[in-house]
Amino acid sequence: MAYKIAILPGDGIGPEIINQAEKLLQCLQQDFGFNMELESAAIGGAGYDAVGHPLPEASLVLCQQADAILLGSVGGPQYESLDRDLRPERGLLGLRASLELFSNLRPAMLYPQLVNASSLKPDIVSGLDIMIVRELTGGIYFGKPRGIRELENGEREGFNTLVYAEHEIERIARSAFDIAMLRNKKLCSVDKANVLEVSELWREVVVQVGNDYPEVELSHLYVDNAAMQLVRAPKQFDVIVTTNMFGDILSDTAAMLTGSIGMLPSASLDRDGKGMYEPIHGSAPDIAGKSIANPLAMLLSVAMMLRYSLGEPELANLIDTAVGNVLNQGFRTADIAEGGNTVSTVEMGDAVVAALRALVK
């Protein structure tokens, strides 16, 4: 049976990097017996330009019917004056919410060839390989009531609500334990249980879920300590699970340990493991259309898709190996070049496809 993959190029560099992903998938189809059907649809600013909405109905239906979704990136300065509900980012948030993609996987992995790109000393970051599992559809970003109100004395007050129901904690914990089982079986849950009641419940539920995973070593850290540990000794972590806002901040910190935003993929999964896969970076309007964007985060997102949604870990490993080989051969886009020769987006995509083909010969 053919896997149905929805392709959402989006805006800015999105279409340029997603072309490279399609090329890679076609190579898997031709040379590795991977059976797939690709279908593209508009999202973000492209959706607004096409039909006046950042998440066109047809795109949502395509994603609902697909086995997995590949997204380039959304956003651009030309859309910033639109009403909030029509902005490109709304398309992405709408898709995550409609498909209940509550589990956001953000790996922070440092390729040994790029160790000098990190702002931390090589001995602290070399070999770094962390997976942050962030709750994506709940917590303070979605909790109600929220707003800005006027008090009796005329002063304004802003307010948001941090709320997690047990089932929301249970499902993200389970997702994180499952991922820990596929890796080194170490899970650190990050909360603020010394101050917040919601964190107290978080910790209790995570411990309960942990009873079903006796092989996984579970630890807990307060978020302030976790932030400190991430820059002090990041290699102590394997998998981290945390709430929406803590995860937002910690995953960006972890990503920056690797120094290269163009290298990091991500996944957002639902309860059944269906997911949307995208680079962690945005649409990079400053370099869009110049064919200098690094496509590797996009290509590594394809590898994550094969591993976490399509049950093809061997193919995923082959892509990871091909990317490593291309870096070994010295191919660099401008963002990771450290002054040497650079290749274009298309040349980098071609190099990975060639490296992949070389693995079957």
Min separation Cβ 47 and ligand NAD, Å: 13
Which residue lies nearer to ligand NAD by CB, 199 or 260? Answer: 260
Cβ nearer to ligand NAD, comparing 248 with 335: 335
Q: Which stretch binds ligand NAD (CB under 6 A): 33-41, 68-76, 105-113, 173-181?
A: 68-76
Per the listing, tokens 């960006």 go with 252
Per CB under 6 A, the segment of 162-170, 192-200, 285-293, 348-356 that binds ligand NAD is 285-293
Q: What stretches of the chain show up as alpha helix (H) in DSSP?
A: 14-32, 45-51, 57-65, 88-98, 122-125, 166-182, 197-210, 223-232, 244-257, 296-308, 313-328, 345-360
- Report the nearest approach of ligand NAD to the CB of residue 317 (Å): 23
**Closer Cβ to ligand NAD, 198 or 319, answer by number:** 319
- Phi, psi (degrees; rounded to nearest 5) at 260: -135, 100
Quote the radius of gyration of the chain (alpha carbons, Å): 20
Q: What count of other Cβ atoms lies within 10 Å of the Cβ of residue 248?
A: 19
- Chain positions 10 to 39 lying near ligand NAD, rule: CB under 6 A, are 13
Closest CA to 171 of 265, 241, 90: 241
> Phi and psi of 54, rounded to 5°?
-70, -15
**262 lines the binding site for ligand NAD (CB under 6 A):** yes
Give the DSSP per-residue string, 150-183: E-TTS-EEEE------HHHHHHHHHHHHHHHHHT
Please tell me whether residue 287 binds ligand NAD under the rule CB under 6 A: yes
Q: Is 42 in the site for ligand NAD (CB under 6 A)?
A: no
Residue of 21, 128, 230, 293 that binds ligand NAD (CB under 6 A): 293
- Residue in 7, 55, 69, 74 binding ligand NAD, rule: CB under 6 A: 74
**Which residues are annotated as catalytic?**
141, 192, 224, 248, 252
In contact, 291 and 333? CB cutoff 8 Å: no
Say how far apart CA 3 and CA 256 lie, in whole Å.
Answer: 33
Query: Which residues contact residue 220 at a Cβ distance below 8 angstroms, ignoring those fewer than 6 apart?
Result: 188, 189, 190, 191, 193, 203, 206
Stretch that binds ligand NAD, among 55-63, 73-81, 195-203, 243-251 (CB under 6 A): 73-81
For ligand NAD, which stretch binds (CB under 6 A), given 93-101, 291-299, 301-309, 316-324? 291-299
Q: Is 75 in the site for ligand NAD (CB under 6 A)?
A: yes
Coil vs helix vs strand at 301: helix
Site for ligand NAD in 87-106 (CB under 6 A): 89, 92
Answer for which of 20, 73, 104, 242 binds ligand NAD (CB under 6 A) is 73
Give first-to-last CA distance, the chain, whole Å: 26
Residues binding ligand NAD: number (CB under 6 A): 21
* Shortest distance (Å) from residue 294 CB to ligand NAD: 4
350 lines the binding site for ligand NAD (CB under 6 A): no
Answer yes or no whether residue 9 interacts with ligand NAD by CB under 6 A.
Answer: no
Residues in contact with ligand NAD by the rule CB under 6 A: 13, 73-76, 89, 92, 261-262, 278, 281-287, 293-294, 297, 335
